[in-house]
Amino acid sequence: MQPLHLTAYTATSALGHGNAAHADALRTMRGGLRPCDFEDVDLDTWIGRVTGIEDAPITGHLAAYDCRNNRLAALALEADGFAAAVADARRRLGAARIGVFLGTSTSGILETEHAYRRRKADGALPADYRFRESHEIFSLTDFVRRHLGLRGPALTLSTACSSSAKVFATAARHIQVGWCDAAVVGGVDSLCQMTLYGFHSLQLVSAEPCRPLDAQRNGLSIGEAGSFALLEAAPRDNAVALLGYGESADAYHIARPEPNGRGALEAMRAALTRAGLDAAGLDYVNLHATGTPANDSAESRALSALLDAPPTSGTKGWTGHTLGAAGALEAVFCALSIEHGFLPGTLNLRTPDPAIGLNLVRNSRTGAPRRVLSNSLGFGGSNCSLLLGAV
């Protein structure tokens, strides 16, 4: 495929606001998880909570879109001059020639949770509840395109944990067929009670900071994040490009991954083929690595079937699992590793699971990765692999 340049990218998560905060945290092994203090949630777990959301209401002509998810999106758009970079692209290409493709799993569902707590005696929801602008799954993308003044094709993908990785593939296809010249891609998912209690009911939430790939791993930590990238086909003065992508569906179980990781393997192979690369050319693999026993095992089997021993790590020990935002957030991690020359470690890893059998990067270290693969493996076996590289 034709490389698509990441002419701007940014991340906001429990590690902070903007790329510098994330690069520093990743290199110095400084995590962002903390004991759960979200609203009145009574769970013994740790979360990756973004600071400042409560103090940043959306005002002005987009005030109707005010909700935790869109506040997080707005904070992320203003970090690293991302909105300004999009404005520059808009002047060069035209607002109608830039698409917006975003991933989320629950959008602004927290607003609905609050509205149900305020139901009237007859069961009616309060008059100020705005489903279309807050909870409806397209509300995120609608808010972002209005915030950025864009009029190109737009859609929201919601395929659980692969959502914001798959938007890179969707954008690439739109650019390839000429429906747009550039695209804003990314993902935003924010904390809510349904997610925290839902994963707790599935017995997938850890009572300690999650420990991906550890022999004693016992579940995930939930986090929130907003992350964006601007993809352009025309070469610009930048260092990183999307070289390939691969997608697959396990068609195995509504929640569990296919045990041998065959779907994940298919996605990784497709990304390599699309990039015209051999697996031996990979310098680093960012694993999905949620910290649940089944996911980590299936992914490791898939990677072992692909190639011998590339340096690999899982980064959810830093931020928690940010669900629909995870794919874009970890794509930014990979871009940072290429641009700044380091390999992220695996935070909270004490004793590597001997059954995993991968070349795990335990502590972050300097390096010169030029070809990196990032995996996102969603509920129900919705898989996506992104291949990023230096250009």
Q: Is the pLDDT of residue 346 over 80?
A: yes
pTM for this entry:
0.96
Rounded percentage of the chain residues whose pLDDT exceeds 70: 100
Name the E strands within the chain: 4-13, 16-17, 34-35, 46-48, 98-103, 154-157, 182-189, 222-223, 225-232, 240-249, 284-287, 311-314, 342-343, 359-360, 365-366, 371-378, 382-390
Mean pLDDT, to the nearest integer, of 155-184?
97
Q: Is the pLDDT of residue 238 over 80?
A: no
For residues 284 and 331, the answer to whether their CB atoms sit within 8 Å is no
The pLDDT mean for the chain works out to: 95
Q: Is the pLDDT of residue 73 over 90?
A: yes
Tally of domains in the chain: 1
Please report which confidence band the pLDDT of residue 40 belongs to, taking 50, 70 and 90 as the band edges.
Answer: very high
Lowest-pLDDT choice from 205-209, 263-267, 291-295, 382-386 = 291-295
Of the candidates 77, 201, 207, 220, the one whose C-alpha atom is nearest the C-alpha of residue 149 is: 77
- For position 144, which CATH number holds? 3.40.47.10
For residues 270 and 246, the answer to whether their CB atoms sit within 8 Å is yes
**Active-site positions?**
161, 288, 321
pLDDT value, residue 235: 74
Of the candidates 272, 273, 248, 268, the one whose C-alpha atom is nearest the C-alpha of residue 258 is: 248
Mean pLDDT, to the nearest integer, of 330-359?
95
Please report which confidence band the pLDDT of residue 295 belongs to, taking 50, 70 and 90 as the band edges.
Answer: confident
For residues 298 and 257, the answer to whether their CB atoms sit within 8 Å is yes
Mean pLDDT, to the nearest integer, of 79-89?
98
Mean pLDDT, to the nearest integer, of 100-127?
95
For residues 364 and 229, the answer to whether their CB atoms sit within 8 Å is no
Write out the residue range of the structural domain in which residue 313 sits: 4-390
The residue with tokens 């794509």 is 331
Q: 386 — alpha (psi -120 to 50), left (phi > 0) or beta? A: beta
